[in-house]
Amino acid sequence: ATTLGASAAERGRYFGAAVAANKLSDNTYVTILNREFNSVTPENEMKIDATEPQQGVFTFANADRIVNHARGRGMQVRGHTLAWHSQQPGWMQNMSGTALRAAMLNHVTQVATHYRGQIHSWDVVNEAFADGSSGARRDSNLQRTGNDWIEAAFRAARAADPGAKLCYNDYNTDDWTHAKTQAVYNLVRDFKTRGVPIDCVGLQSHFNPNSPYPGNYRTTLSSFAALGVDVQITELDIEGSGTTQANTYRNVVNDCLAVARCTGITVWGIRDTDSWRASGTPLLFDGNGNKKPAYDATLAAL
């Protein structure tokens, strides 16, 4: 096939992009989105600060615009994200203890209920583990409500939208030897053993000189998959340019295709100028919307 989405579909997979609601009026952007991708992730519009800016007051207009754009064109939607230490509204940042636990669970329930039946996969919990060699949970107001906050969030999400795949999503979990990767692996194994609902692991996969694409990435994907969960590459971007960048994109695609339960890839933006990385050129299209060597390598590998 001649597009990323159609080629991925021939491989039984999706190829998605992070989308910003305020760019849906940009013709170049929308033309590429509609042509190339068959899955979208709202880049910020489903986060807690966006969907519950005041406690108990839910605002879905921007996220709904993305969901409606996508579903109206047959694209899947990844929901991102229900519970996270970052991009919390001020009222939640100031909460703790049982009140925060209840507010978090209510948020999960309300948002997942609003989108019930419309979300392919939810990033139920994002970035709950610490960086470095500890393998510990990240300290956060949510973590301080008790170590069981993650499973509580997953149970609430399952109850609210039984048809959505429920993912744990994180970064720097690409290198199989990394303590954080092993910590997430142990969480998923524990959930599967105890029957806590979890269907997928999202590897953000933001690759740059500080966290480069690891040679054992395929081992990481297959190891998670062997626990009985799908694996999704959820926020892919690769700093660099030219042939070097193209080769890394090719390697990532080949690794995913080599693992039956690696079910899809999402790039974190469309053009380089859409990237959250202020400087750098980590995506598949240049600022003018032209296909880069990384695009050609990705399409050829699919």
Interface of this chain with ligand XIL, residues 45 to 84, rule: CB under 6 A: none
Long-range contacts of 112-116 (CB under 8 A, 24+ apart): 112/79, 112/82, 112/156, 112/157, 112/160, 112/161, 112/164, 113/160, 113/161, 114/58, 114/60, 115/63, 115/67, 115/77, 115/79, 115/161, 115/164, 116/160, 116/161, 116/163, 116/164
- Residue in 126, 172, 220, 245 binding ligand XIL, rule: CB under 6 A: 126
* Letter string b/e over residues 22-34, b meaning 16 or more CB atoms within 10 A of that residue's CB: ebeebeebeebbe
Rounded least distance, CB 14 to ligand XIL, Å: 18
Report the residue number, 236 or 253, with the smaller CB distance to ligand XIL: 236
Report the residue number, 123 or 161, with the smaller CB distance to ligand XIL: 123
Dihedral angle computed from the Cα positions of residues 289, 24, 249 and 226, in that order, rounded to the nearest 10 degrees: -170
Report the residue number, 171 or 249, with the smaller CB distance to ligand XIL: 171
Binding mask 163-182 for ligand XIL (x = CB under 6 A): --------x-----------
Give the DSSP per-residue string, 16-68.
EEEE-GGGTT-HHHHHHHHHH-SEEEESSTTSHHHH-SBTTB---HHHHHHHH
CB–CB of 59/44 below 8 Å? no
Say whether residue 205 binds ligand XIL (CB under 6 A).
no
Distance CA 208, CA 281 (A): 11
Active site residues: 127, 235
- Residue in 141, 145, 204, 266 binding ligand XIL, rule: CB under 6 A: 204
Rounded least distance, CB 171 to ligand XIL, Å: 6
- Residue in 44, 106, 219, 247 binding ligand XIL, rule: CB under 6 A: 44
- Residue in 30, 216, 241, 276 binding ligand XIL, rule: CB under 6 A: 276
Say whether residue 230 binds ligand XIL (CB under 6 A).
no
Which one-letter amino acid corresponds to residue 88? Q
Rounded least distance, CB 300 to ligand XIL, Å: 27
- Residue in 235, 239, 255, 274 binding ligand XIL, rule: CB under 6 A: 235
Rounded least distance, CB 83 to ligand XIL, Å: 12
Distance CA 65, CA 50 (A): 13
Rounded least distance, CB 126 to ligand XIL, Å: 5
- Residue in 43, 174, 175, 239 binding ligand XIL, rule: CB under 6 A: 43
Q: Which residues bind ligand XIL (CB under 6 A)?
A: 43-44, 126, 171, 204, 235, 276
